[in-house]
Structure 1
Amino acid sequence: MSAVQKQNTESQRARLLGSASAGILELTMFHPVDTISKRLMSNHGRITSLAQVNSVIFKEQANASIAKKFSSLFPGLGYAACYKVLQRIYKYSGQPIVKDFLAKNYGECFDQKFGKGTGKAIMHATAGSIVGIGEVVLLPLDVLKIKRQTNPNAFKGRGIFKLITEEKFALYRGWGWTAARNAPGSFALFGGNAFAKEYVFKLKDYSKATFFQNFCTSIAGACASLIVSAPLDVIKTRIQNKNFDNPQSGFTILKNMIKHEGFSSFFKGLTPKLLTTGPKLVFSFTLAQTLIPLYDRLLK
């Protein structure tokens, strides 16, 4: 029997509760920094002064009081709540389901092809990549959240229900680029995490990892994921932040970025993303990996 197949798996209830808890706590703490990251990625051209940074981040509240500036970082919170919690439930409880399926049906193949330790880690990464691609089903919530954060004028004169009725499948605009971003990003997230558990901490059963071990391995996975997915994430964000009546294709954005902004534009927002989204991803991934086994023990 494959080494992967011998691992105990947590109950679906534990996975659901653990991932939902992680998503709620993440949203509570990190929505403002997510807004900052999205606004920096959406900015066209070079930023050469602190005044420009202030204008890009706070938009029309750039010259307002500190309190108003801070409150301006919470647009789209309702969409973010729906999206982030559903996304974390889908990703953190969905990846183990796919991993269990791969272990049951193809565990021996991974072991034979890559060796037991590496095969197990690559299987975790593959399961993450498959789940990452399927994450496009949540794309409309992400689109609405990003537009609220970066282009609130797109909502003028239209309520949410009218907007959804009018736009319909247009809310899935950029789904191909999103899937292309998610596939390697999720592969790197779960793969980096699994490789660190396998080769740094020498764990045979990943669910037995301590909070510190989960924290360290989550850092490895999160950094790998953000770096790998950065170029496609910039394109995805620019597709999604356009006005509903002025869409642009990903290839047009790609061409304009190369022509007018250069190769470095594909990594715009990477540093603040590593400093903001990185800790956010590490925070939720660490909590999910710690809470799921804990809930599993409590529910037995």
Structure 2
Amino acid sequence: MAPAPVEAVAKSAASDFKKESASARLLGAGCAGVAELLVFHPVDTVAKRLMSNYGRVTSASQLNSVLFKEKAQAPIVTRYLSLFPGLGYAAAYKVLQRVYKYGGQPFVRDYLAKNHGQEFDRAFGKGNGKAMMHATAGSLIGIGEIILLPLDVLKIKRQTNPESFRGRGVLRIVADEGFGLYRGWGWTAARNAPGSFALFGGSAAAKEYLFRLNDYNKATWSQNFVASIAGASSSLIVSAPLDVIKTRIQNRNFENPESGFRILSNMARKEGVSSFFKGLTPKLLTTGPKLVFSFWLAQTLIPAFSKVM
């Protein structure tokens, strides 16, 4: 007897979506941001200091100095605590960033689905159009993330160049620097656009093609975890070169800025092409899990909160 034909899985249209409540989106994203901060802030400091280091690290003692700066010879507990500079800025930035990004992307996705869903389907086909729509919504929300840039600048400077504060408080720095705190906004937007596209697009593609889900909110926690790995890995690799440039722009002293194009030119001439991927390995091994962790929590908590609220 011939085997029964396997029924093809119908691909869902881009305009087919399940809308979660606004409070569920904000609460789920906020919880993910708080959890990420508590677990991964020291890891973030390590990655930023590695990306900000000029030249090559050739010994363990040099690596120790790069990571722990003036606390390099201090006891191990003191060295560990030195990885928490700028925690106040990090708390404000990270929680607001995750609420904005993870909680905001569904609103942009809803708008695109309602007004342009059929156009995505016509351009890319069902299933493909839905994944592309999620990616596009992520890219748009990523570009708008530059509104939070001053908090990111302050956090990075506290992590990598604390002497730039020179005893000034936050309000004094804001008053003195003004729009200078948005230095590097163009490079940040250039990094966020493809990075967020890959983050949300990679996750949507995994749910669409790997797990054959028509309703992405029905993904199990394990499916969300795998989808988050796909999205986070894609995002970090795509955005790595621009992330290094952005970090170097932001960590310089306030009174001694340097343009992104000059940094790019100097890196290519003095440090070689590999310098654009400095910190990528530790980012994939450390920041990668951080992004996977928070993105997985947000994708799992938002539908869960939506069911009970």
* Mapped partners of 1:83, 1:239: distance in 2: 18
- The equivalent position to 2:114 in structure 1, one of 104, 112, 134, is 104
Residue number in structure 2 paired with 1:256: 266
Instruction: Give 4+ residue runs of structure 1 displaced > 3 Å after superposition.
Output: none
Rounded to whole Å, the distance in 2 between the matches of 1:72 and 1:141 is: 20
Q: What letter is aligned with 1:81? A: A
Structure 1 residue 135 corresponds to structure 2 residue 145: yes
Unaligned runs of 5+ in 1: none
1:83-107 Cα deviation digits (max 9, x unpaired) = 0000000000111000000000110
**Percentage identity across aligned positions?**
70
Name the counterpart of 1:277.
287
Q: Aligned partners of 1:19 and 1:249: how far apart in 2?
A: 34
2:307 alignment partner in structure 1: 297
Cα distance, 1:48 vs. partner? 1.1
Tell me the amino acid that sits aligned with residue 150 of structure 2. P
Aligned position for 2:275: 265
Q: 2:160 aligns with which of 147, 150, 168?
A: 150
1:132-159, Cα deviation, whole Å (9 max, x unpaired): 0000000000000000000000001311
| Distance of 1:101 and 1:53 partners within structure 2 | 48
Match of 2:210 among 200, 213, 220: 200
* Partner residue in 1 for 2:62: 52
Query: Per-residue displacement from partner, 1:164-218 (whole Å, max 9, x unpaired)?
Result: 1010100000000000000000000000000000000001000010000000000
CA distance in 2, matches of 1:285, 1:158: 35
Over the aligned positions, Cα root-mean-square deviation in angstroms equals 0.7
Displacement of 1:50 after TM fit?
Answer: 1.1
Residue equivalent to 2:173: 163
Q: So what's the TM-score if we normalise by structure 1?
A: 0.98
Deviation at 1:6, TM superposition (A): 2.6
Q: Offset of 1:49 from its aligned partner? A: 1.1
Three-state SS of the structure 1 residue aligned to 2:167 is coil
Give the paired residue count.
298
1:91 aligns with 2:105: no
Residues in 1 aligned to 2:77 and 2:167: alpha-carbon distance in whole angstroms: 27
Q: Which residue of 1 aligns with 2:6?
A: none
Q: Return the alpha-carbon distance in structure 2 between the equivalents of residues 18 and 4 of structure 1.
A: 23
Residue 176 of structure 1 pairs with residue 198 of structure 2: no
Aligned to 1:214: 224
Q: Does 1:76 align with 2:94?
A: no
- Partners of 2:14 and 2:127 within 8 A in 1: no
1:242 counterpart residue number: 252
Amino acid at match of 1:255: S
Runs of at least 5 residues in structure 2 that lack an aligned partner in the other structure: 1-11
Render the CA deviation track for 1:245-293: whole Å, top value 9, x for unaligned.
1000001100100110000000000000001110000000000000001
2:74 counterpart residue number: 64
* Structure 2 Cα separation of the partners of residues 267 and 191 of structure 1: 22
